[in-house]
Amino acid sequence: MELPEGVSLAAGEKEKISAAMTELEQDVHAPREITVRFTLHVHRAYPKHVTIGKKDDGTPITTVVQNAEEEKQLSKAAKKTNGKAKESEE
């Protein structure tokens, strides 16, 4: 059985399935059904963290953008400053 995109067996579930199969091979009265857990993941493009420049010590300055338009505006601003964005002081 092929799982849909973004679906995977949760940690430890493969071992649980193997143990249940081994038990069934050794005992005809062993349970023939088990419950397993899956991990679901949906990739969303936004919101996402983007790097807008670097501090004087070289560490990156990041911010969160909510859509492609915000990301485009930040990209233009970073190009104007050559990636030397100033960190806002609050």
> Over the stretch 28-82, which tens digit does the pLDDT of each residue have?
999 999 999 999 998 888 999 988 888 899 899 889 999 999 988 888 877 776 6
Give the model's pLDDT for residue 81: 67
Residue-by-residue DSSP string for 45-84: --SEEEEEEE-TTS-EEEEEESSHHHHHHHHHHHHHTTT-
Q: What is the mean pLDDT of residues 4-29?
A: 96
pTM over 0.85: no
